[in-house]
Amino acid sequence: MRKVFDFHGGIHPAENKHQSLRTPIASAGVPAELILPLSQHIGAPAEPIVEVGQRVLKGQVVAAASGFVSVPVHAPTSGQVTAIEDRLIAHPSGLSAPCIVITSDGLDQWQECQPVADYHSVDKADLLARIRDAGIAGMGGAGFPTAVKLTVKPQAPIATLILNGTECEPYITADDILMRERAQHIIEGAQILSHLIEPSEVLIGIEDNKPESIAAMQVAAQGTGIEIVVFPTKYPSGGEKQLIEILTGKQVPSGGLPADIGVICQNVGSAVAVRDAILEGKPLISRVVTVTGEAVEEPQNLEALIGTPMSYLLQTAGYQAAKNQRLIMGGPMMGFTVPDADVPIVKTTNCILAPSAAELPAPPPAQPCIRCGMCAEACPASLLPQQLFWFAQGKEFEKAEQHNLFDCIECGACSYVCPSTIPLVQYYRAAKAEVIQIRQDAEKSEHSRLRFEARQARKEREEAEKEAKRAARKKAAEEKARLAAEQGDAQEDPIQAAIERAKAKKAAQASGGDAESELEKLEKLVITTRKRLETASTKLEAAKAEGSEHVDALQLGVDKTSAKLAAAEQALHAYQQANPSPDIPAPAAPDDAAQAAIERAMAARQADAAKSPEEKARESLQKLEARLAKSEARLQEGRAAGEEEKIIIALESTVERLREKVAAGKAQLKQAETC
């Protein structure tokens, strides 16, 4: 007899398994409509490869795997694809997801199957490809693609292959009945898996509350070298990590995979699926589902096609909707409530639980935690649930992480034993999601920061390049001038120099132009012109007195200067009139469009903050109306000018949208006024 180990904690909830074990597995039949969610497994959703209206055969691929960690989806029966759309799926969120909807034609016509007669003679990679193409994903609950699990190459060679026949969740008997009725198929599947990964031992773990299964499996396993290991019943011994500890005494390292310690774990249902895929060439299109709970009259196990609506199976088992107030996919410990009875079953659906209100009563209001420590005693991961609860409640997620929040397997043992009926698992789920969200936000923010900085750097570089070009042009011009000066005669030199000076001055003014206000410039101009006029006048007087021949020329100059002075004075006057308070310099024009937008938005917000909602509404309405008028005018203009049709259409829709907005704004204003 093999030594079995114990794991920390665990609980013994009422099993309630006998109800659904009274009859053998029955076929559920083919419903009129099958809904196939594209994501029934962990990993990337499959991609549809059929079109609406297309006829498909049973077993035909309707959606292909879209990555390494992904599996295809097959048509569970023959019929027509009637829709590829979002449908409500079995998920605690109650959200919809893309599904392929197939209307059955009632023929249930198979496509051609290609079984492998002797898998020993086939290449292992080919076998793996077949398992993957058969769409097999872990059928115990998580739905991890089986082929991926078998492909992952660990550092350590796989010493142990474990088939999980534990089924520790109360109520569920799908694996139990599978082991009773199809023990031979499980063993064949185990042999194929064993052939693929070549472990030194193959173990099938079963809890001691399933004597019939144990007997059947022992008979089937005789002479194969596969060992059936029986261990005491305790929830959650069927958890992968717990089962590995029970059978091998080793613990899967935190954050690691079983393969890291040389173990691979597969559900017995997956083993049967593998066997069917290889020996019969059939993809995974059906599974055994336990339909149980007090709200069904005949609890039983049904072999149901993937995509069958839950309501169809419930009806088969005699569903009494009035007795039922929550519908659970999975067991009472880890299953989740579904939003509607019409959601389809998927590859991971092992149980549909329809309890009556008396059977699983609604949780009473939570009382304060008294730190009794029962949760810590029950925790199979040796966590301190009460501390985690404390941190989650206080939103101290960092501390929760330090207390190994992510090693929680959400088995629910802590909630089960909690005398204060605190929904502990919900706290952990929310806290985990929150931690992941924070990590993602941090990543996104870091990413945005890098992009922003890259943009800033690019802009600076562009600016620098422009500046460099400008400088190069200027230098070239100077060079040219210097060359010309060297070649030209000496007399031109001072003139050239003067030109240069003027140019330099102008350039200086242009570059520093913003600093020197318009007003100052004008004033300066007036003053300098006046000075020049004065000197010119005195010279003219002197020349007249001397009776110089230059009088005429000087006279002309004086006239010209005085005209200039008049013009400058007029300009100054005009400027002063236009700007009534010339003492305060006009605000420097914002040099950046974004900056300008920010400032405008700031000002608007500040103004908004002081206003009542009514005023706000009225103001926004006015703005909208103004915008509408503008847009309409622009549209008229555009039409008149016979602009491109595209632009006209764009303008038209703008006007339309603005009109809608104006209408909405009016309604809002009315509401604000009535308030």
Partner 1 sequence: MSLMRITSPHAHGPSRTSRVMQQVLLATLPGVIVLTHFFGFGTLVNIFWAGILAVAFEALALKLRKRPLGFYLGDYSALVTAVLLGIALPPYSPWWLIAVGIASAILLAKHLYGGLGYNPFNPAMVGYVVLLISFPVQMTSWAPPRGAGELPGLIDALQACFLPASFDGVTMATPLDLLKQNDSLLMEDLWQANPQFGRWGGLGWEWASIAFLAGGLWLLYQRVFTWHAPLSMLATLTLMAALFYDGGSSASGGSPLFHLLSGATMFGAFFIVTDPVSSAVSVRGRLIYGALIGLLVYLIRIFGNYPDAVAFAVLIMNLAAPFIDQYTQPRTYGHARQGGDR
Partner 2 sequence: MYALIAQYPLLAALFALVSLGAVFGAILGYAAVRFKAEGNPIVDQINAILPQTQCGQCGHPGCRPYAEAIAAGEEINKCPPGGQAGVQALADLLDVEAPTLDEEHGEEKVPHVAYIHEDDCIGCTKCIQACPVDAILGAAKHMHTVIVSECTGCDLCVDPCPVDCIDMIPEDETLRSWHWQLPDPNSRQVDIIATDAAAEAAA
Among 116, 128, 159, 369, binds partner 1 (CB under 8 A): 369
Site for partner 2 in 22-41 (CB under 8 A): 39
Among 81, 187, 230, 328, binds partner 1 (CB under 8 A): 328
654 binding partner 2? (CB under 8 A): yes
- Answer for the pair 361, 369: CB distance below 8 angstroms, yes or no: no
437 binding partner 2? (CB under 8 A): yes
Name which of 114, 113, 116, 135 is nearest 124 in CA terms.
116
351 is in an annotated binding site: no
Window contacting partner 2 (CB under 8 A); options: 185-193, 345-353, 422-430, 614-622: 422-430
671 binds, among partner 1, partner 2, none (CB under 5 to 8 A by kind): none
119 binds, among partner 2, partner 1, none (CB under 5 to 8 A by kind): none
* Cα separation, 163 vs 59, whole angstroms: 26
490 binding partner 1? (CB under 8 A): no
* Cα separation, 183 vs 301, whole angstroms: 16
Site for partner 2 in 157-196 (CB under 8 A): none
**Residue 584: both structure tokens together:** 């305060």
Q: What is the 3-state secondary structure (H, E, C) of 284-306?
A: CCEEEEEEECCCECCCEEEEEEC
* Cα separation, 169 vs 378, whole angstroms: 15
**Residue 403: both structure tokens together:** 């207390």
435 binding partner 1? (CB under 8 A): no
Amino acid at residue number 162: I
Our CB check for partner 1 shows the closer of 336 and 452 to be 336
368 binding partner 1? (CB under 8 A): yes
* Cα separation, 331 vs 378, whole angstroms: 18
414 is in an annotated binding site: yes
Name which of 234, 226, 223 is nearest 266 in CA terms.
226
Fill in the per-residue mask, 332 to 351: x = in contact with partner 1 (CB under 8 A), - = not in contact.
Answer: xxxxxxxxxx----------
Our CB check for partner 2 shows the closer of 447 and 544 to be 447
The DSSP H or E segment spanning 179 is helix 174-181
Query: Rounded to the nearest whole angstrom, what is the least distance from the CB of residue 393 to partner 2 in the complex?
Result: 6
Site for partner 2 in 575-604 (CB under 8 A): 592-595, 597-598, 600-602
404 binding partner 1? (CB under 8 A): yes
Amino acid at residue number 628: L
Our CB check for partner 1 shows the closer of 94 and 211 to be 94
Among 113, 454, 527, 626, binds partner 2 (CB under 8 A): 454
379 is in an annotated binding site: yes
Burial tier of 479 (Cβ tally within 10 Å: 0-12, 13-18, 19+): exposed
* Cα separation, 214 vs 176, whole angstroms: 9
Burial tier of 609 (Cβ tally within 10 Å: 0-12, 13-18, 19+): exposed
Among 14, 51, 93, 583, binds partner 2 (CB under 8 A): 93
Strands, E assignment, 306-404: 328-329, 336-337, 351-353
Window contacting partner 1 (CB under 8 A); options: 254-262, 473-481, 521-529, 539-547: 254-262
Sign of CA dihedral 320, 325, 331, 337: positive
The DSSP H or E segment spanning 201 is strand 201-207
**Residue 144: both structure tokens together:** 């991890």
Amino acid at residue number 256: G
Window contacting partner 1 (CB under 8 A); options: 79-87, 112-120, 134-142, 419-427: 419-427
439 binding partner 2? (CB under 8 A): no
* Cα separation, 618 vs 630, whole angstroms: 18
Contacts of 216 (CB under 8 A, 6+ apart): 179, 180, 181, 183
Fill in the per-residue mask, 168 to 187: x = in contact with partner 1 (CB under 8 A), - = not in contact.
Answer: --x-----------------
53 binds, among partner 1, partner 2, none (CB under 5 to 8 A by kind): none
675 is in an annotated binding site: no
Among 29, 262, 423, 638, binds partner 2 (CB under 8 A): 423
**Residue 38: both structure tokens together:** 């594209």
Site for partner 1 in 5-24 (CB under 8 A): 7-8, 11, 13-14
The DSSP H or E segment spanning 324 is none
* Cα separation, 105 vs 95, whole angstroms: 29
Our CB check for partner 2 shows the closer of 455 and 544 to be 455
Q: Residue 598's CB: how many other CB atoms inside 10 A?
A: 12
233 binding partner 1? (CB under 8 A): no
* Cα separation, 654 vs 636, whole angstroms: 13
Among 318, 394, 419, 613, binds partner 1 (CB under 8 A): 419
List residues bridging with 202 in a β-sheet.
161
650 binds, among partner 2, partner 1, none (CB under 5 to 8 A by kind): partner 2
Window contacting partner 2 (CB under 8 A); options: 144-152, 450-458, 463-471, 489-497: 450-458
606 binding partner 2? (CB under 8 A): yes
- Answer for the pair 366, 421: CB distance below 8 angstroms, yes or no: yes
265 is in an annotated binding site: no
408 is in an annotated binding site: yes
480 binding partner 2? (CB under 8 A): no
Which residues of this chain interact with partner 2, rule CB under 8 A? 39, 91-93, 95, 97, 365-368, 392-393, 395, 422-423, 426-427, 429-434, 437, 441, 444-449, 451-456, 592-595, 597-598, 600-602, 605-606, 609, 627, 646-647, 649-651, 653-654, 657-658
Residues making up the binding site: 369, 372, 375, 379, 408, 411, 414, 418
